Structure 1
């Protein structure tokens, strides 16, 4: 049997009656006459060829088996339309439909996670794409248009197509496992680190391919993942620089030791926000930049640059 196509208004009438448990309640909630609600449900049932409510006599309407089967699907349709309308209203008000965010692996993960959770609540209609990369890969993602906002590390090379502002910095310290030869030395003489394998974060982009940053040993293992490098250090396989916040628990528990490396006993890792000059800022991008900058300012041991305008 062919059935008619219900309107969105009819589906909303059906859902409101089911939620309120009566035609009177639905009429009050929707601000309509009860006769309009009753007629709308009757017309919907006629189109579908089923009874959605059992309502003999003065009994309150009770969902039939057909009504129960339709309820979840009708709610999904109404929710999808609501999301569509919300997205169009936001778009008309200048809100981005989507936002690509590229974050340097050195940026504290817990800060990123908390900001992303708040972002989803603040901008539920904005589709967020997240990339976590290192060094020049952040610049590359922004230049190529995959990300509208990048949170990168130190400026490795001038990029005329990018705008860049400093947003803060974290401490980086050299560490190794307690059993590593460097950790067992009371005093590390100059040049000693060159004799030991250094675990280095590699750049997976073409922009700074082949360049070395804070590398002191000719014996290196290059890894693109900060977590993998962290795990290898705890196994005593090599030494390297890590964000102080990322290894403070390991140092306190004795799983890692801070090294007094004469060449670089510690350093500051500077973060920059970057975006394409031809890509104007929307509300979501501006909110994300401000939130990450403010959260970094609240981070222990971090230093913050000026707040962005």
Structure 2
């Protein structure tokens, strides 16, 4: 037995329209072709699907039992065809993104939702990787896109699109000895206290971007870094979007500095390799990020 999309379409058309003639009109067939298709399907299944003793065919209990599965199978046929067509036009089989752990709270999931609407069959993989690891994965071809902080140096192998700005805050547990009694620090004093940083797990990787202290503990996981900070094991320099829940809960506080502001703003970039061709999914995701940034820039200008 070989079930086909055509047979399932005809079966569902008869169920939906209530007769062979109405089903035939809805799918552009002649009634005899619909009747023959149902008869062949019944023979293949060794089941009676429609009771033909009355003026119009009535679904049998077997037909009713198979209806939900038939609708699911038709949907899968259509998704399969849509994916095959998209692949023939340049859709990648999988879109992989590497995101710096500190940026997991930034707005990258919204555009992914729009991507899923356009390409529902596209498989998407999101990896959390410290910045240097994310960029390495990009150049190795393991991922097509990376979400990282703006680069301090130009790399001719990369293309980028600005995504958003992040306020980087110096934060610490309220019980930490460095700020006991509401003590206000100077910038140079931060270097004397242990810093918690998110960094590559590779021992020979470049120093973490935001490292300022003489002594630091590191993790490649933002959740672990936040746990160490809340335990009073050190201070950290992290995006406001990441630490906002802890600031609101009072488990972390922003460090007050008496000589400069305790925060700075950095751009977040979406980057890709210019040596690797991008599929339709990656191209559309980049376009969504670009449109979003343009809207936000226009709104900011109009506000002023």
TM-score interval w.r.t. the shorter chain?
Answer: 0.7 to 0.9
Label 1:75 to 1:113 Cα distance change in 2 as closer, same or farther (>3 A): same
1:1-309 equivalences under 5 Å are 4-65=1-62, 67-107=63-103, 109=105, 111-155=107-151, 159-184=155-180, 185-189=182-186, 191-204=188-201, 209-261=205-257, 265-295=262-292
| Rounded Cα–Cα distance in structure 2 between residues aligned with 1:215 and 1:106 | 14
| Rounded Cα–Cα distance in structure 2 between residues aligned with 1:298 and 1:164 | 18
SS of equivalent residue, structure 2 residue 225: helix
| Rounded Cα–Cα distance in structure 2 between residues aligned with 1:296 and 1:183 | 38
Is contact 2:18-2:58 (8 Å) kept?
A: yes
SS of equivalent residue, structure 2 residue 237: strand
SS of equivalent residue, structure 1 residue 100: strand
Label 1:226 to 1:260 Cα distance change in 2 as closer, same or farther (>3 A): same
Query: TM-score by structure 1 length?
Result: 0.82
* Cα-to-partner distance string for 1:261-302 (whole Å, 9 max, x where unaligned): 4587222333232222222334321221232345467789xx
Is contact 1:13-1:41 (8 Å) kept?
A: yes
Kindly state the Cα deviation for residue 255 of structure 1 after the two structures are TM-superposed. 2.9
Query: TM-score by structure 2 length?
Result: 0.83
Gap regions ≥5 residues in structure 1: 305-309
* Cα-to-partner distance string for 1:80-118 (whole Å, 9 max, x where unaligned): 221121112223333333322222223352512222222
SS of equivalent residue, structure 1 residue 216: coil
| Rounded Cα–Cα distance in structure 2 between residues aligned with 1:173 and 1:44 | 67
Gap regions ≥5 residues in structure 2: none
SS of equivalent residue, structure 2 residue 108: helix
| Rounded Cα–Cα distance in structure 1 between residues aligned with 2:159 and 2:24 | 55
Is contact 2:103-2:242 (8 Å) kept?
A: no
User: What is the aligned-residue RMSD (CA, Å)?
Assistant: 3.0
* Cα-to-partner distance string for 1:120-174 (whole Å, 9 max, x where unaligned): 1121132212112221111111112121112222326665533345444311010
| Rounded Cα–Cα distance in structure 2 between residues aligned with 1:62 and 1:294 | 51
| Rounded Cα–Cα distance in structure 2 between residues aligned with 1:244 and 1:297 | 22
Aligned length: 297
Label 1:264 to 1:134 Cα distance change in 2 as closer, same or farther (>3 A): farther
